[in-house]
Amino acid sequence: SASRTVAYGQKIHWDLPGGRMDEGATIDETLKREISEETGIQNFDNKGLCDAVISNIEIKNENCGLILFVYEIEPRGEYQIKLDDEHTEFGWFDKNEAAQKLSFKYPPSFVKKLETT
């Protein structure tokens, strides 16, 4: 499981690569764009939807409800992680450690599902 550090306001936390959909874009196009922009990984297999969860997080001093679609991917071939300006570091974690690190943004139902899969 790959996670990265992201800053929203003054809070630093671990998160998964992702972002908002552009108008007219498909979920698959958005997934490819976000993975490429945030990690530099160009080629990967989409293993399918892992979960869809609702999260509340503070963005610019306002609570924001987000619907998060979490996909499992597997990189193909050789790659080198290249972070964008929004991120300070990355790490590869087993599911239990990832669940612990992601508990800031993701609801307990998702964290528990991640720990038990």
**pLDDT tens-digit series, residues 67-112:** 888 898 999 999 999 988 888 889 988 888 988 998 887 888 888 8
- List, in sequence order, every beta strand (DSSP E) within 1-117: 2-8, 11-15, 44-59, 62-75, 87-92
User: What's at 45, amino acid-wise?
Assistant: D
Q: What pLDDT was estimated at residue 95?
A: 85
Report the chain's mean pLDDT, rounded to a whole number. Answer: 84
Q: What pLDDT was estimated at residue 59?
A: 67
Half-sphere exposure of residue 58: CA atoms within 13 angstroms, side-chain side: 9
Task: Give strand pairing partners of 68.
Answer: 53
Mean pLDDT of 46-50: 91
Rounded CA separation 96/5 (Å): 17
Tokens of 2: 């790959």
Rounded CA separation 55/61 (Å): 16
**DSSP annotation of 22:** P
Q: What pLDDT was estimated at residue 50?
A: 87
Q: What pLDDT was estimated at residue 78?
A: 92
Among 18-32, 42-56, 75-89, the range with the most confident prediction by mean pLDDT is 18-32
Q: What's the predicted TM-score (pTM) here?
A: 0.77
